[in-house]
């Protein structure tokens, strides 16, 4: 199968999955136990208000036409109307999305740079003290939930040392602590992956062969080891970038970072279901797109991978 | 025995002893003592008191028991259901397999924790819904792994022979497939246990998990984080307890995987 063709197949698959996800999210409002309208307005609501909201939300229509309405609204960028803000959801979501991507991006950069460099160092000093220390620290880091690590970071760097701000509104530096809290476990995972991958490649016979040919150590590492070893790391990192979006939900709650995650949590407690629906949708679709791009990137880097299967 | 293995086993035994033998009396947990609000650890109370003057130590124990309870229930549901779906899908193949794969793709299209948060958030908190939300997310991993493993085992001669002899599918699954895929599933089970503990704590941290006054490690971390400045012992001690639980399970998973990899390479060579 040609490269272009397989990229095309991958895009189609992503599109189908998106449709299914949209459908699942569409059912969210029907998942609320009991009558969703009563759940939203409360038991004491007057019959007139209940019926008015039901018509407003289109919940009196047959399910199929509700679904078509939902999809057509989405296509034109109408994500619904917030009960809480009494305003369209889309602009509010857009602002939060930018903040979440900003945070996830920073965490990703931290995780990738720290994880890959420590992983390489650990692999080169395999089974020595530095390696063992790095492996241990990585395992501990993977076991610290971000909602425990976040408060600890705040105690150390914001309260005791007063080096860094906590809130999101205090300039560029305010992203450092949340990004660290979010990126820690990904950095640990990346470190473990990189280490395992580099060690595996170093054991390959062709490395021995080029070493015998007298290639310099740095040339071997740069041209042969890293190129082959970092491929699987890139893929996992891509998949994890999506997971960062999920982790961001909790991290944002700790640091009151005004992103999609905070919006989901606040909207859940405000019973602002259209907002919950739209935020989940935006996160899920971003996740699908990121995964798709990762697959395609992997394909470009490694001609052996067949995307179609 | 390696020194680190000894430490690992020792810590696990220590946790088990504490969890089993410390008091099961629920009334102590919620005794509010306003004199003792946010008291730091002392000789009288080893872990200090929380924002309502309740003793933190027993609440941590109770929270850890709750975590393990949720883990056992959720893993029983997800591993049984996921494995059955995965094996059937791998064994039967065809239309059924492609439908199962698409469903798995869709589930993997959400970050798991987000799906759990929205489910628990919309259904409302409480133990039931937490278990429901985590189970809805958790079966996918088991299904995917057991399907892949079944595809591998299916090619082996003894399964083909059994099929030729007309052995029924349930019998093939139980006698000929399951025993060969148990080890990788065990590793998956261990890592899933760690992730279920973290997810349950995460939901409770966000206030959509098990509701108060039931002690959950997640909600205790949240309560503690309100008193970072005045009583850091609250969040630190609870956080450490949660972390050590997850750490032990992760290490056990790593060990198990190494052991299985060794066994595997011994068998081949």
* CB-based burial label for B254 (10 Å; 0-12, 13-18, 19+): middle
Whether A291 and B109 lie within 8 Å, measured CB to CB = yes
Predicted local confidence at residue B212, as pLDDT: 72
pLDDT in tens, A50-64: 888 888 777 788 888
Question: Does B148 touch chain A if contact means CB atoms closer than 8 Å?
Answer: no
Q: For the stretch B183-218, what's the b/e string if a residue is b when 16 or more beta carbons lie within 10 angstroms of its beta carbon?
A: bbbebbbbbbbbbbbbbbbbbbbbbbbbeeebbbbb
DSSP at B43: S
CA distance B46 to B56: 8
- Determine whether the interchain pair B102/A20 forms a contact, defined as Cβ–Cβ distance below 8 Å: yes
Q: Is B1 touching A (CB cutoff 8 A)?
A: no
Out of A21, A154, A269, name the one closest to residue B106 (CB): A21
Q: Give yes or no for a contact between B159 and B176, defined as CB atoms under 8 angstroms apart.
A: yes
By the CB < 8 Å criterion, does B221 face chain A? yes
d(CA A7, CA A9): 5
Q: Which residue has the tokens 């899908």?
A: B89
CA B40 to chain A, closest CA, distance in angstroms equals 16
Q: What is the pLDDT of residue A308?
A: 47
φ, ψ of residue B49 to 5 degrees: the values are: -125, 160
Task: Give the start-end residues of each E strand in B93-204.
Answer: none
Produce one character per residue of A102-134: b if its CB has 16 or more CB atoms within 10 Å, e if not. bbbebbbebbbebbbebbbbbbbeeeeeebeeb
Q: Are A298 and A231 in contact (CB under 8 A)?
A: yes
**Structure-token pair, residue B152:** 């591998």
The SS3 assignment for A88 reads: strand
Q: pLDDT tens string for chain B (269 positions)?
A: 577 788 888 888 888 888 888 877 777 777 777 777 777 777 777 777 777 778 888 888 999 999 999 999 999 999 999 999 999 999 888 899 988 988 888 888 777 788 888 888 888 778 888 999 999 989 999 999 999 889 888 888 888 898 889 888 888 888 888 888 888 888 889 989 999 999 999 999 888 888 777 888 988 988 888 888 788 888 889 999 999 999 999 888 888 888 887 766 655 54
Max intra-chain CA distance, chain A: 86
Best of B7, B104, B110, B227 to disrupt the A interface (most A CBs within 10 Å) is B110
8 A C-beta contact, residue B48 and residue B39? yes
Q: Which residues on chain A are in Cβ contact (under 8 Å) with B118?
A: 28, 264, 268, 276, 280
pLDDT greater than 70 at residue A241: yes
Q: Which of B111, B124, B239 comes nearest A242 by C-beta? A: B111
Evaluate the CA torsion angle A34, A35, A38, A41 in order and state its sign: positive
Cβ contact (<8 Å) for B202 and A147? Answer: yes
A residues 52-111 lying closer than 8 A (beta carbon) to B: none
| Side-chain-facing half-sphere of A43: CA atoms under 13 Å | 0
Query: How many Å apart are CA A90 and CA A123, to the nearest integer?
Result: 47
Please name the member of B109, B121, B243 whose beta carbon is closest to the beta carbon of A284: B109
Touching check for A156 and chain B: CB below 8 Å?
A: no
Q: d(Cα A66, Cα A174) in Å, to the nearest integer? A: 43
Q: How many CB pairs under 8 A join A and B?
A: 132
| Highest averaged pLDDT of the listed ranges A174-183, A298-307, B120-129 | A174-183
Backbone angles phi, psi at B55, to 5 degrees: -70, 130
Q: With CA atoms as reference, report the closest residue to A10 among A208, A202, A288.
A: A288
| Cα gap A211→A146, rounded to integer Å | 43
Percent of chain A topping pLDDT 70: 94
Alpha helices in B22-93 (DSSP H): 56-92
Q: Determine contact, residues A244/A100, Cβ cutoff 8 Å.
A: no
Q: Which of A208-222, A234-248, B251-265 has the highest mean pLDDT?
A: A208-222
Alpha-carbon distance B196 to A40, whole Å?
A: 30
Residue with tokens 């071997």: A220
The b/e string for A196-207 (b: 16+ C-beta within 10 A; e otherwise) is bbbbebbeeeeb
Window 128-147 of A, Cβ < 8 Å to B: 139-140, 142-145, 147
Across chain A, mean pLDDT equals 82
Tokens in use for B146? 């057991």
Answer for the pair B127, B212: CB distance below 8 angstroms, yes or no.
no
Residues in chain B: 269
A268, B122 contact by CB (below 8 A) = yes
Location of structure tokens 């300039």: A171
Query: Which residues of chain A have a CB within 8 Å of the CB of B251?
Result: 139
How far is the alpha carbon of A41 from chain B, nearest alpha carbon, in Å? 15
Q: Specify whether the CB–CB gap between B59 and B29 falls below 8 A.
A: yes
Region for residue B54 given its phi and psi (left: phi exceeds 0; alpha: psi -120 to 50; beta: otherwise) = beta
DSSP assignment letter at A214: T
Chain B residue whose CA is closest to A272: B122
Q: What is the pLDDT of residues A98-151, one digit of tens each?
A: 999 999 999 999 999 999 989 988 988 888 888 888 888 888 888 888 888 888
pLDDT at A225: 84
* Residues facing A88 on adjacent strands: A81
End-to-end CA distance of chain B: 25
Task: Name the A residues in 175-194 with CB < 8 Å from any B CB.
Answer: none
Give me A174's structure tokens: 């305010």
Q: Whole-model pTM? A: 0.83
Taking CA–CA distances from A264, the nearest residue in chain B reads B118
Q: Would you state the structure tokens that stand for residue B153, as one six-digit string?
A: 């085992």
Question: Which chain B residues contact residue A264 at CB under 8 A?
Answer: 114, 117-118, 121
Task: List chain A residues with CB under 8 Å of B229.
Answer: 159
Interface contact A143-B246, CB threshold 8 A: yes
Gap between the Cα atoms of B174 and B179, Å rounded: 7
pLDDT in tens, B143-181: 999 998 898 888 888 888 988 898 888 888 888 888 888
Q: Name the residue with tokens 């309100």.
A: B226
* DSSP-based three-state secondary structure for A78: coil
Q: Is the peptide bond before B213 cis (omega within 30 degrees of 0)?
A: yes
Contact B236 A24 (CB under 8 A): no
């Amino acid at each position: 199968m040609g490269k272009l063709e397989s990229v095309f197949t991958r895009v189609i698959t992503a599109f189908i999955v998106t449709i299914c996800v949209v459908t699942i999210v569409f059912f969210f409002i029907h998942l609320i136990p009991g009558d969703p309208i009563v759940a939203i307005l409360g038991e004491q609501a007057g019959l007139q208000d209940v019926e008015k909201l039901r018509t407003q939300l289109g919940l009196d229509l047959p399910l199929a036409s509700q679904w078509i309405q939902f999809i057509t609204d989405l296509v034109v960028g109408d994500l619904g109307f917030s009960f809480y803000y009494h305003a369209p959801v889309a602009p509010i979501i857009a602002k939060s999305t930018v903040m979440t991507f900003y945070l996830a991006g920073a965490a990703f950069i931290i995780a990738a740079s720290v994880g890959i460099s420590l992983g390489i160092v650990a692999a080169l000093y395999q089974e020595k003290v530095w390696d063992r220390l790095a492996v241990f620290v990585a395992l501990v880091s993977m076991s610290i939930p971000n909602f425990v690590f976040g408060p600890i970071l705040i105690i150390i760097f914001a309260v005791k040392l007063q080096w860094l701000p906590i809130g999101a509104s205090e300039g560029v530096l305010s992203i450092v602590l949340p990004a660290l809290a979010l990126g820690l476990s990904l950095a640990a995972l990346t470190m473990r992956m990189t280490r395992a991958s580099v060690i595996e490649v170093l054991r390959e016979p062709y490395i021995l062969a080029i070493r015998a040919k007298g290639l310099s150590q740095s040339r071997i590492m740069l041209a042969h080891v890293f190129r082959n070893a970092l491929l699987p790391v890139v893929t996992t990192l891509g998949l994890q970038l999506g997971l960062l979006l999920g982790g961001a939900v909790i991290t944002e709650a700790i640091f009151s970072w005004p992103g999609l995650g905070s919006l989901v949590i606040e909207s859940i407690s405000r019973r602002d279901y259209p907002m919950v629906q739209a935020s989940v949708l935006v996160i899920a679709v971003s996740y699908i797109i990121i995964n798709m791009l990762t697959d395609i990137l992997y394909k470009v880097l490694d001609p052996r991978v067949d995307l179609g299967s | 025995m390696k020194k680190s293995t000894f430490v690992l086993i020792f810590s696990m035994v220590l946790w088990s002893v504490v969890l089993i033998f410390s008091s099961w009396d629920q009334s102590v947990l919620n005794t509010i003592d306003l004199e003792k609000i946010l008291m730091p650890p002392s000789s009288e109370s080893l872990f200090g008191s929380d924002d309502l003057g309740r003793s933190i130590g027993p609440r941590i124990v109770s929270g850890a028991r709750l975590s393990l309870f949720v883990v056992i229930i959720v893993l029983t549901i997800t591993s049984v259901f996921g494995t059955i779906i995965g094996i059937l899908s791998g064994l039967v193949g065809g239309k059924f397999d492609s439908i199962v794969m698409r469903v798995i793709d869709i589930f993997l299209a959400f970050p798991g924790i987000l799906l759990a948060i929205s489910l628990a958030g919309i259904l409302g908190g409480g133990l039931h819904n937490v278990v429901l939300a985590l189970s809805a997310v958790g079966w996918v991993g088991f299904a995917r792994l057991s399907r892949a493993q079944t595809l591998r085992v299916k090619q082996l001669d003894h399964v083909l022979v059994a099929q030729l002899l007309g052995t029924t599918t349930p019998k093939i699954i139980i006698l000929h497939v399951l025993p060969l895929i148990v080890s990788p599933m065990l590793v998956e089970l261990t890592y899933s246990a760690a992730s279920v503990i973290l997810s349950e704590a995460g939901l409770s941290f966000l206030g959509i998990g098990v509701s108060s006054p039931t002690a959950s490690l997640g909600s205790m971390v949240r309560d503690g984080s309100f008193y970072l400045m005045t009583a850091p012992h609250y969040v630190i001690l609870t956080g450490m307890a949660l972390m050590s639980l997850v750490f032990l399970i992760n290490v056990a998973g790593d060990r198990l995987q190494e052991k299985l990899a060794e066994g595997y390479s011994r068998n081949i060579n």
